[in-house]
Amino acid sequence: MKPLDDELRNLLRPKEPPEGLAERVMARLETPPARLTFARRLSAFLRPPVLRWAAVAAVCAVAVLGVVRYQHQQRVRAQAEQASQQAIFALRITNEEIDTALRRAQRVTLRALEVPKNPKSEME
Amino acid sequence: MSKAVEQTVVEDALERCIAGDRSAFAEIVREHQSMVYSLALHFLRSPSMAEDLAQDVFLELYRNLGSIQSGAHLRFWLRKVTCHRSIDRVRRGHGNGTVSLEDVPEPAVAAQSRDMLLEAKLWKLVATLPDKPRMVVILRYQEEMELREIAEVMEIPINTVKSSIERALELLRTKLSRSMGGVKV
- List CB contacts (< 8 A) between A22 and chain B: 26, 29-30, 33
Report the residue from B29, B104, B173 with minimal CB separation from A15.
Answer: B104
Report d(CA B10, CA A123) in Å as an integer.
147
Rounded CA separation B164/B136 (Å): 7
Question: What does the H/E/C string look like for A22-72?
Answer: HHHHHHHHHCCCCCCCHHHHHHHHCCCHHHHHHHHHHHHHHHHHHHHHHHH
pLDDT at A80 > cutoff 90: yes
Which DSSP letter does residue B20 get?
Answer: T
Kindly list the residues from chain B whose CB atom is less than 8 angstroms away from the CB atom of residue A17.
33-34, 37-38, 51, 54, 105
* pLDDT single digits (tens) B28-85: 999 999 999 999 999 999 999 999 999 999 999 999 988 988 889 999 999 999 999 9
Q: Report the 10 Å Cβ neighbour count for A122.
A: 8
- Higher-scoring residue by pLDDT: B164, B108: B164
This prediction's pTM: 0.65
A26–chain B Cβ distance below 8 A for any pair: yes
Full set of structural domains in chain B with CATH = 1-101 (1.10.1740.10), 111-185 (1.10.10.10)
